[in-house]
Structure formats: structure tokens, C-alpha cells
Amino acid sequence: MTKTYSLVRSLVVGGMLALVVASCDSDPSGPEPPGETFDRSEMLARYGQDLILPAYAALQQSVAALQASASAFTAEPTVAGLEALRAQLKAARLAWQDANLFQFGPAESVTLRAALNTYPADVDRIEANVASGTYTLGTLDNRAAVGFPALDYLLHGLAATDEEVVAAYRDAPDAANRRAYLQDNVDFILNATEATAGEWAADGGNYIGTFLSPENAGTDVGSSLGMLINAFVLHYERFIRDGKIGIPAGVRSAGVPRPTATEAYYAGYSAELALANVRAVRRLFLGNDRADAAGTGLDDNLRALGAGDLADWIEAEMDEAIAALAALNDPLSVQIETDNDAVLAAFTALQDVIVLLKADMTSILGITITFQDNDGD
């Protein structure tokens, strides 16, 4: 349905723009073309100052709190300390759902996504590292043994009860190594987060200055808008639609579900993370900040270009995707095993947004998608 609508809508919008251009060519004194007066720099300032910088600041703050809780727990493992550490881990993972849309510039240099959220966790590698006490975090062979998914296993997946998990850090023969690995992992997450946030900061690497510079205010490849759109569309396609939903539901494995591939498999709040992430995408499209206060966004740019109907349709499809995700239950891994049709319906709803963002929106805005397709859509 959406693909058919998308094609028709593109033709209609394209025809409207062609008529406007023809009118302007025949009458130089006539009205300006749609979008001619749109202030793209204002939109980029909204994104840089009110969405990107706050997202990284919130992530940095939540990870610093995670480190403090980890230090307290490793100094004296208790059930209360474990509960506090788990709560801080969830808070950091929710903060990540805002920051993970902006994986370009400093985040790309630091490989922040790989450092923080490569899943499913490689449990065998984690246990080998704990047993040996010798490892180098950040290397390719340890890519799935660090970050939030590793903490997910270390705090939720070691045993059936909280008391048994605490005992693994307090009484087991390898308890000292396990405490050290837990703390090293949290430090690794914090270092990667601080490096990225520091490069963005005006009083640090000042990438925000580069992002907002007039020379990067166009729509060509390498422009700020081009990088932003490529980053969040790539994230939506590969890491939300596929990573959070499609791969665990079996869409990429010939219909064979992979429930253990959910994002927070051991903690059991994968659907909540996916919902938070799509809500963040919606805010980005509308130019809304973390409190959902309205601002200048891509929808306004589309409207200025005469494509308000497309902006409305993208927002409506995003709302449908959000509703489909909100209808899912956690643990998502259990729902995949008991009612996978609902998960597949969420995948379809997410897919419906992809066509509008990746084909129609970018065409109207004059943005080139530079990442390679996964599956031709």
C-alpha cells in the first residue's frame, strides 16, 4: 500500500514542482519557487543545538551515573547495589536511543555504535575474557564482548536469582576477574561516550561549529543535512527495522526466528528500547526536542518545497509504526516465540516508513543516499 502511494505521491509532488518551475521560467517577475525562502541554517541550528548536543550530553550523564553505580557495586557486591546498577544501565540504554541517530562525524570516528551496542553479546568471548583476566577491549575480536549488551549479560544473564548473580561477583573463584571486567567495560563505554561528546562540544573539538558552518549548509554529499539524513535513515533501516525487530523475528533468516538476537535479551526490555528509538526518529523528523517541544524540522523543509502532503504521510506512517511497537510485549524474545505475527506486523509498519524517507523525502530535498542498500528497497 505504502509503496503504491509513495509512487503516486512522488509523481504528484514532482508535477507540482515542475509547474512551479515552468511558471517561474516564463515569468521572472513572478513568485519565488517553493522552498526558496526556507532557512535551512535555522533547521540545522535546531538539530545541532537542541537535539544532537543534548542527546550526547544526556548519554554522557547517564553513563557517568552508570560508572558510579558500577564502582559501588564492584567495591561491595550486594543485591541492592545490583538493582541500582541495573536501573542505571536501563537509563543509559534509553538515553542511547536518542543519541544513536547521529552516528556521523565524531561518532563515526570513535565507532561509537560498535563500542556501545553490538548485539547479541558473545557470551563465550566474555567468559573467556573473565577467565583469563587478560583482554583488550575495543579490538575486533572483542566487538561483541563489550558495551551495553555485554553488561546486559553480566548483570542479568549469569544466574536465575539476584542472590546468585551477586555471588558470582563476591564468592565465585573468578569473582575478582568478573568485577574487574564489569568495571573495565563500563569505563570503556564512558571513554567512548566522552570522546564523542567532547568532539561535538563547542569548547572541545567544536564539531558543532563544523556542522553549523555556512559552507556545510547545502544538500550535497558531505553537507551537514546530507550526513544527518544518511545517518538517521541508515539507522532506521538497519538498526531499528532490521536489528531491533526484523532479525530477531526471522525476517533475515528465511523465516526462522532468532529470539536471542533481541537488543536487551537478558534484561527483557527490548520492545521498550525499540519504541523509544522510533519516537526519537519522529521527534527528529518534526524538529521536536527531547521534551517534544516543536521546532523547525525536515517536515517544515518539505512543506516549504510544496510537499506538505508527504510530510503529513511520513508523520502518519511513523505514528502507525509507534502504535505497532507499543502493542508488543516484553520480553520481546518471548513474544517472538509465542506471537511472532505481531512482531512481523511491527516490522511491516517500520518498513512502510522506509520508502517514504529513503526515496520520496530525499528526492524532494535533493539528498543523495550514500550508504549501500541491504535488500534493494
**Tens digits of per-residue pLDDT, 274-322?**
999 999 999 999 999 999 999 999 999 999 999 999 999 999 999 999 9
Q: Which residue has the cell 550486594?
A: 78
Q: What is the average pLDDT value for the chain, to the nearest integer?
A: 91
- pLDDT tens column, 178-217: 999 999 999 999 999 999 999 999 999 999 999 999 999 9
pLDDT at 11 over 50: no
φ/ψ (deg, to 5) at 16: -60, -45
Q: For residues 340 and 138, what is the distance between their CA atoms, to the nearest angstrom?
A: 35
- The average pLDDT across 115-134 equals 98
CATH 1.20.1420.20 residue ranges of the chain are 2-7+217-365, 41-210
- The average pLDDT across 73-88 equals 98
Write down the CATH number for the domain with range 2-7+217-365.
Answer: 1.20.1420.20
Q: For residues 173 and 255, what is the distance between their CA atoms, to the nearest angstrom?
A: 42
Residue 328 CA from chain centroid, whole number: 19
Kindly tell me the burial class for residue 84, based on how many C-beta atoms sit within 10 Å of its own C-beta (0-12, 13-18, 19 or more).
middle
More confident residue, 21 or 182: 182
Residue 327 CA from chain centroid, whole number: 20
Q: For residues 149 and 314, what is the distance between their CA atoms, to the nearest angstrom?
A: 31
Residue 150: what pLDDT? 98
- pLDDT tens column, 244-281: 999 999 999 999 999 999 999 999 999 999 999 999 99
pLDDT at 74 over 80: yes
- pLDDT tens column, 135-149: 999 999 999 999 999
Quote the Cα angle for 221-246-298, to 5°.
Answer: 35
Distant-in-sequence, close-in-space partners of 93: CB < 8 Å, separation ≥ 6:
148, 264, 273
The SS3 call for residue 114 is helix
pLDDT at 340 over 90: yes
Instruction: Return the closest-CA partner of residue 332 out of 254, 243, 252.
Output: 243
Other C-beta atoms closer than 10 Å to the C-beta of 111 total: 15
Instruction: Return the closest-CA partner of residue 362 out of 207, 226, 198.
Output: 226
Q: Which residue has the cell 583469563?
A: 132
Residue 7: what pLDDT? 42
> What is the number of alpha carbons within 13 Å of residue 45 lying toward its C-beta?
6
Kindly tell me the burial class for residue 243, based on how many C-beta atoms sit within 10 Å of its own C-beta (0-12, 13-18, 19 or more).
buried
CATH superfamily of 41-210: M75 peptidase, HXXE motif (1.20.1420.20)
